[in-house]
Structure 1
Amino acid sequence: MIIDIESASDERLHAFRWRERQLTTIAQRKSVLGEGMFIAEGDLVVRRALEAGCKPDVVLCDPKCAHEFAESVHQAGGTTLTASADIRREVTGLGVPLDAIGVFLRPPISDAQELINVSTRIIVLDCVDNPSNVGTIARSAAALGWNALLLDSTSADPLARRALRVSMGTTFKLPFARVSNVGETLQLLAALGFSIVGMTPHHPTKKVESLREIRLADNQPRAVVLGSERQGLSDAALEHCNVLARVEMADGIDSLNVAAATAIACYALR
């Protein structure tokens, strides 16, 4: 069933105004519990969430495209609403009337150990706290055939509104897990035979190789580690990297955005 909404004050639209702190608690976003809600913005992201098996609570659509979602939403136990462009624009606060926006239950997050056991190409994020960067990293990693994303507790939520929006929903194709200690995780990966490549433009005492000079055997499992744009890799991460790599840049340019660096590393080391 499709329900038409005629007023922006209709209580059935309240969830679409929620921000991250109302969708989940900080503890839920940083944990492995998978509790709370997330919002998928845009028809493509909503469609990919449904295809990934995420359970919708409510989906708000342009009347012209509601039929594309109604059956899938209903079968998954959710409700489909329609509203005019003006109402959709006001409710979401994005300034544009998206064709579809959905409120979903957060899926259970993968177990880190189980994810490591079935992966050969892993991205590890160490204090990457910008949701746009995390979303772009997920999109690039998935597009270039990487298997998994591991994030420490200080990195941004891959299911945050902004992260999902910039990933265009490809986050649903890249399993991710939280880890409590990056150093211990990298130590485990090394023990399992992974080559650990830490991305950094420079280091005061350790050799940093050009990314294009690194050669890994096709059957060599690998993990690429990236840190915050301001602080770089933590000491715990640096300790367990067996290779440090940089992207060669033009004179006078000292660094790249972490999401751009990740895309280059994913392509070079895939």
Structure 2
Amino acid sequence: MFNYFSLLLLLLFCFVYHSEIFPAGNPPISVRGQRGGSITLPCEFKACEISDISLNSLSENIPVCQTEECSERVLKLGNCDIFIKDLSFSDAGTYILHVYYHNEQAELERQTRTYQLHIHDEISVEIGKQLKLDILLPNADKVEHQTERSTGWMAVWSRSNAVWSDRLTNRDGNLIITKFAASDAGTYIVLDSEGELLITLTVKASGSDRKHKAPRLPDPGLWSLSMKLTVFFVIWGILVILLFPIMYLAARFFEPISAAFGYLN
């Protein structure tokens, strides 16, 4: 009986917890930003009597500067929009914004906004060098890789099975590729336990010894001109080759006629 009631209490706690994070009728707002750049978490709440706001991730309370003139990294814009600058991969994840305001009866109420922040970036790595992927966030559950020539995704790390390849090592919370190869190029994505996208990192290979380098196509205008010149010379070559037999046959054909006219003269 004790185990039964304990299970019920645990289920009730989970229900209340998830209801707080993702309130009914208020699905997470997807926001995408580039590493090193900035984003705005839109509040879209127009109440004039806002008394306070608070911003939380799933693990901590985040201080928000209340004036636009402050130099902090996270600050409030307008009524309750949240501006975050100098983005890093560690900023990716779920955010909950609580807006406290007074209604017409001067009673304090609360509105909640939930955001899913996705960070992306692109880097270039020289063949043979070490690649350090600082993408293993505390809320990361899986890392998948798609090569430049593939349309499918391959898991390279998961929280339950660690690294899935002998070419990778997990060192100090980072995925390390000791000697970067062309096959390591492509796109890496980081997913949380709910399958939500946290990070997208595009890695390009550089270096003169890069294998499987895609051939460089000629400029369409130059290609068209080259084709025209090629066709022109081929046709003239064929005409020249055919001209000599035609002239020879014509001379043989008109030779008796020429002789006959010479005899008559």
TM-score by length of 1: 0.27
Q: Which is richer in helix?
A: 1
The structure number with the bigger radius of gyration is 2
TM-score by length of 2: 0.27
